[in-house]
Amino acid sequence: MGADRVFAYGAAAGLLGDLLLGDPRRGHPVAAFGRAAAAVERVLWRDHRGAGAVHTAVCVGGAVALGGLAARCVRSSPAASVAMTAVATWAVVGGTSLAREARTIGRALEAGDVDAARERLPHLCGRDPQALDADGIARAVVESVAENTSDAVVGALVWGAVAGVPGLLGFRAVNTLDAMVGHKSPRHLRYGWASARLDDVAGWPGARLTAVLAALSGPDPLGAVRAWRADAAKHPSPNAGPVEASFAGALGVRLGGTLSYGGRVEHRPVLNGGGRAVAVSDIDRAVRLSRRVGWLALGAGAAARLVRKGRTS
């Protein structure tokens, strides 16, 4: 069995496992990586970009090396290789947890329980929940679903298609490190610089594929393309911009505006300014679109590997 089929079968099984099982309740591999990365930070931390770059290299390099070793150990057995790819995919993607958290908040908002929605919001994103009313929470959820479709699903599948198990683990390591140290807090402004920049680079192809697939599979393809072209570059993130703009246009809603992180208020540009305000019902619509995008990304990755094999054979 060729590497293209190993990826296609294994990644499909991993996505199905995520759909049926979600994340493990205990002993999640990403959480274990986070603990290891935090231990490395305690040893290496200096208020300097160079120290942060070493931290990034050690943590990401370790994840890639572990993936490479695991893949090498099973490469003689197609069945074991498929199983390894399935386990790695299930470990690094988070589509089901993303959908579950978004819908839990949506149900609380539908019931009029804004306090419960505020309490649950930190499980999904880093916004300050107390600064948000019901409409603000709904908008935050839709934006988080859009961004995390790229970060938690499509980006991993892209790098899995490129580099197999090492690509899957390496991308999740990069994305996790960015969440841990890539923000602009006083402690991590310089130390987290390398992790944040590497995340921008690693996330670039997955973000563009997510935007394309959201446009193709959403209710308003032309609206998605228009919003992407008009507004994506206004977003401070080079990768969140295309994804959120495409989702906004596809769903016909208006995203962006004022938000608060850790007590810091940001005024972000409006995406798809001609759209309507986000409603609670849009949370479920965003989740369904996210699901479609994830499965289409798997198909795109498998097709890309087949094309590449055809050109090299």
Delimit the domains of the chain by residue range. 3-312
Tokens of 136: 């603000």
What is the pLDDT at residue 144?
95
Strand partners for 259: 266
Tokens of 184: 């602009």
pTM (two decimals): 0.93
What is the pLDDT at residue 312?
60
Query: What is the C-alpha R_g of the chain?
Result: 19
Backbone CA torsion sign across 13, 14, 19, 20:
positive
Residue at 64: amino acid letter: V
List of the chain residues with pLDDT < 50: none
Closest C-alpha to 185, from 193, 177, 194: 193
Residue at 105: amino acid letter: I
What is the pLDDT at residue 264?
63
Tokens of 44: 């290496």
258 phi, psi to nearest 5 deg:
-75, 135
What is the pLDDT at residue 27?
76
Interior/surface letters 50-60, b for 16+ CB within 10 angstroms, e for the rest: ebbbebbebbb
Helices (H), the chain: 3-21, 29-44, 49-74, 78-92, 95-110, 114-120, 134-149, 155-181, 193-217, 221-231, 240-251, 281-312
Q: Are 136 and 269 in contact (CB under 8 A)?
A: no
How many angstroms separate the CA atoms of 110 and 14, rounded? 32
Of the CA atoms within 13 Å of residue 270, those in its CB half-sphere come to 9
Q: Tokens 């393309």 map to which residue?
A: 225
Tokens of 228: 């992407």
Q: Tokens 């409603």 map to which residue?
A: 279
What is the pLDDT at residue 130?
84
CA dihedral 14, 211, 277, 114 (to 10 degrees): 30
What is the pLDDT at residue 109?
97
Residue at 250: amino acid letter: A
C-alpha distance from residue 205 to each of 158, 178, 239, 272, 275 (Å): 7, 17, 9, 22, 27
What is the pLDDT at residue 304?
83
